[in-house]
A and B are shown apart, each in its own frame.
Chain A
Amino acid sequence: MPDQQPNKSPQDIGGEKAGPIDTVDHGMKFWERQANALRSTLTRAGIVKTDELRRAAEDLVNNAQLEYFEKTTSALRTLMIEKGYMTDQELKAKMAEIRARFDVPDEMESPIKKGAKRQ
């Protein structure tokens, strides 16, 4: 291992101290099931590839702070914008619309908010 570790990414944790491992099955939250279904559908349709999702997840600036489905969903967001299926503005507008519809407070933590790459 070099003294300096150039281009070491969040996934490069082999050999590092990991601490205790949480082995409790926490199940999946409702939004996680939905997001996972979307990811699965887009993968099966050939619109996104697993390798692309991994790359986009590794590149998230706040990767270490995110939970698993927050990473995959944020990566999906990156790819859908990258591939031109939607723009960041369209996504933000839609999120604002849905928040208003369900009266969701704007300060609520969302994976998109936490995972968003600053443009």
Chain B
Amino acid sequence: MSGAFIPAPAAHPSTYTPAPGHRYNVGDRVLVKRRFPPGHRRTPYYIRGKTGVIERICGAFPNPEELAYGFDGEPRKVLYRVRFAQQEVWPAYRGPDRDIIEMEIFEHWLEPA
């Protein structure tokens, strides 16, 4: 991370829907898988391979990568909001190190960092 500042997650993050059996907790550092499979993928290309922190557990939802092909999206996947430092995401970023970007990423795209 070369000193990039990752702010602390919100003290009381909300949970939208129950997500039993979630693998990660608020504050955990996660690495977005650096994979480039074909098909409809719900993880932005530019965030793959980047490290962030779980900001909240959003809930468990039908998998959109399966819904996209006409299947029912079961079993549901846990969705997290992940916080990244802009300086981590964009190597040439010139803004202050407190600048962040948050995005929602499904559990199967994350691994422990």
Seen from chain A, the residues whose Cβ lies within 8 Å of a Cβ on chain B are: 1-2, 5-8, 12, 14-15, 49, 51-52, 54-55, 58, 82-83
Contacts and interface: CB of A to CB of B under 8 A. Distances in A.
Contacts of B68: 49, 51-52, 54-55
B16 interface: no
Interface of B: 36-40, 44-47, 64, 67-70, 90
| Secondary structure class of chain A's binding surface, majority of residues | loop
Contacts of B67: 49, 51-52
Where chain B touches its partner, the secondary structure class is: loop
A58 B37 CA distance: 14
A15 B90 contact: yes
B46 A1 contact: yes
B49 to A, nearest CB: 8
Contact of B37 (A7, A14, A51, A52): A7
B105 to A, nearest CB: 14
Given A49-B67, A52-B70, A2 B36 contact: yes
A14 B40 contact: no
